[in-house]
Amino acid sequence: MTGICGTTREAANRICFEAIGEGQPLLVLHGFTLDHRTMMRTLEPVLAGSSGWLRIYADLPGMGRSHSGGPVTTSDDMLEVLGAFVKRVIPHGSFAICGHSYGAYLARGLARLMPQRISALVLLAPVVHPTVRTVPLHQAKVRDDAFLARLTPAEREVAARKLVVQTEPVWQRYTEEVLPAQALADWDVLTPLRSAGYALSCPPDEHDEPPDYPMRIIVGKQDSIVGWHDAVMLTDTVPNSAVTILNGAGHYLHLEQEEQVQRWLADSFSIF
């Protein structure tokens, strides 16, 4: 990114975000079709209070309350807009990034563009290879059949496809955070992006030299959307990196194993 064109600047200016706390900046990026609320509900119990982190929860263009303000049809476009957004809200110094799924993919793209500014990467269920993925077959680890019987057939079908832990508390969080966010998605923006296959033209794993920032990854062992195997391979690209594989969790691991994920987050941020 050698410059910021007018449409990119406009799109960056249209990114809605919420900043909480003070200290070292932490950019938080949600998954595809979602918004910042799930990430906020996951991180705030860990970082609220005197954590020393300025949390910047952003809605990606075409998602949440962020309008594109210009053509955002590929992940390259998305990354360019995010780079301009960073220049606007974190103009100087280092910052960390926490991302889930597609947000984690973009986090790695940003880190490739500005490695000297990255203090740490924290990735939840990251997209590693957008088009070809090594994933397990979808299977439920926990089913509350009495609860599932009270859902409508359409709701049961969603729970069966999306969740590994199919219980009332997990479903409640899914309906409070995921479904409302998806209802806000701008499919005029997201349909061409999805059709393009998400892939960045410059793979985020190809570094000019090995990064010196720490990277921590957590994945669900039953994640049938992005899997866990590809995330393990990421440790070959960043020397100071580690992966935690969480059993009994899928792509929405922060909903399905909330306590374990928050404990892992607390441990990860404590060493940065």
Point out which residues pair with 124 in neighbouring strands: 100, 218
Tell me, rounded to whole angstroms, the distance of Cα 22 from its chain centroid.
22
Asked if the model's pLDDT at residue 6 lies above 70, the reply is: no
Burial of residue 271, with CB atoms counted within 10 A of its CB: 0-12 exposed, 13-18 middle, 19 or more buried: exposed
Residue 1 pLDDT? 36
Q: How far is residue 150's CA from residue 152's CA, in Å, rounded to a whole number?
A: 7
CA distances for 62 relative to 201, 236, 246, angstroms = 20, 33, 31
Residues 108-165: pLDDT tens digits? 999 999 999 999 999 999 999 998 899 999 999 999 999 999 999 999 999 999 999 9
Residue 201 DSSP SS3: coil
Query: Any idea which residue has 């219980």 for tokens?
Result: 167
The mean pLDDT of 87-93, rounded to a whole number, is 96
What pLDDT, on the 0 to 100 scale, is given for residue 68? 63
Question: Residue 41, Cβ neighbours under 10 Å: how many?
Answer: 15
pLDDT for position 57: 98
pTM: 0.94
Instruction: Mark 225-245 as b/e (b = at least 16 C-beta within 10 Å).
Output: bbbbebbeebeebbeebebee
pLDDT tens per residue across span 161-209: 999 999 999 999 999 999 999 999 999 889 988 887 889 999 998 888 8
| CA 39 – CA 107 distance, rounded (Å) | 14
For the chain, domains (ranges, CATH) are 6-136+185-270 (3.40.50.1820)
